């Protein structure tokens, strides 16, 4: 009887996972609208040319990765170590993987902006190197999760690694102040007003909101996947 109830719950979870994900679709629709705004309705900056428009996908993806995805991973990891609730482990895991996708965009669009402006695809300065290091650590975090079968041990190790990795977030933010770097100083996340003309702000902030919505959609889908995967494993172990 208990098995039947459990199977019914997992089956309905699987059915709902196959349905249309409106949050994710809204995120992509918002991103498409931002693309239209960037391409046709945002002015070209005089000194950098069209390449400056990379800002609207590069910096906003970085904001979402660092200050939403990896911050959430850190909070969920800390709470897991305290409460030992598997839900928190799944949130941390999902947030880390979605954050990795956003950081990948940052690491690809950055060199595409750097080449025409700095004359180099890459420099080993503090901001770029620390971001690459963070990407590698998150990749290692996800690979480590795949290598440990025991669920409680995997969650505990992941939570510790997730928390330690998140220490890089404030460091990455401060690198442009602490080190001599080619990366520009913050133009939005700083104590004073954003140093950006209003017509550029009208593209930048909607872009951030669109990517935040996309992050929410991807996180929800990834969390559903993790929940269903664990439920399937439980069913397989029970039968």
Partner 1 sequence: MTPDNAGYYHAAYVAAAVIYVGYAISLRVRLRRLGARVSQIVASNDQA
Chain residues that interact with partner 1, rule: CB under 8 A: 3, 7, 10-11, 13-15, 17-18, 24, 28, 31, 35, 38-39, 44, 46-51, 53-54, 57-58, 61, 98, 101, 104-105, 108-109, 112-113, 115-116, 214, 217-218, 221-222, 224-225, 228-229, 231-232, 235-236, 239
Q: Within 13 A of 89's CA, how many CA atoms are on the CB side?
A: 22
Nearer to partner 1, 94 or 165 (CB): 94
Nearer to partner 1, 85 or 234 (CB): 234
Q: How far is the CB of 45 from partner 1 (least distance, A)?
A: 8
C-alpha distances in angstroms, 175 versus 92, 180, 185, 214? 25, 8, 9, 28
Contacts 24+ apart (CB under 8 A), 87-91: 89/154, 89/155, 89/158, 89/159, 90/223, 90/226, 90/227, 90/230, 91/223
Q: How far is the CB of 142 from partner 1 (least distance, A)?
A: 13
Q: How far is the CB of 155 from partner 1 (least distance, A)?
A: 20
**What is the rounded CA–CA span in Å between residue 95 and residue 88?**
10
Q: How far is the CB of 101 from partner 1 (least distance, A)?
A: 4
Nearer to partner 1, 156 or 224 (CB): 224
> Nearest 5 degrees, angle CA 132-CA 180-CA 108?
30
Q: How far is the CB of 54 from partner 1 (least distance, A)?
A: 4
Nearer to partner 1, 10 or 75 (CB): 10
Nearer to partner 1, 91 or 163 (CB): 91
Q: What are phi and psi of 49, to 5 degrees?
A: 75, -160
Report residue 181 as tokens. 């770097």
Q: How far is the CB of 22 from partner 1 (least distance, A)?
A: 13
Are 219 and 4 in contact by the 8 Å Cβ rule? The answer is no
Nearer to partner 1, 14 or 83 (CB): 14
């Amino acid at each position: 009887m208990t098995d039947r109830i459990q199977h019914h719950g997992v089956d309905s979870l699987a059915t709902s996972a196959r349905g249309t994900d409106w949050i994710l679709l809204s995120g992509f629709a918002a991103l498409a609208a931002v693309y239209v705004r960037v391409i046709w309705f945002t002015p070209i900056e005089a000194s950098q040319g069209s390449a400056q428009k990379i800002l609207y996908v590069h910096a906003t993806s970085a904001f979402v990765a660092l200050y939403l995805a990896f911050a959430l991973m850190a909070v969920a990891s800390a709470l897991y170590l305290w409460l030992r609730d598997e839900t928190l482990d799944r949130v941390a895991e999902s947030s880390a993987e979605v954050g990795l996708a956003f950081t990948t965009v940052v690491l690809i669009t950055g060199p595409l902006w750097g080449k025409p402006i700095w004359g180099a695809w890459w420099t080993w300065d503090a901001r770029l190197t620390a971001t690459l290091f963070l990407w590698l650590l998150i990749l290692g975090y996800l690979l480590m999760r795949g290598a440990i079968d025991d669920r409680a041990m995997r969650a505990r190790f992941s939570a510790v690694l997730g928390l330690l990795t998140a220490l890089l977030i404030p460091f990455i933010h401060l690198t442009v102040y602490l080190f001599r770097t080619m990366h520009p100083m913050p133009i939005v996340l700083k104590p004073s007003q954003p140093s950006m003309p209003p017509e550029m702000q009208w593209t930048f902030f909607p872009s951030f909101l669109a990517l935040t919505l996309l992050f929410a959609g991807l996180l929800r889908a990834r969390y559903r996947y993790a929940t269903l995967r664990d439920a399937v494993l439980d069913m397989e172990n029970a039968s």
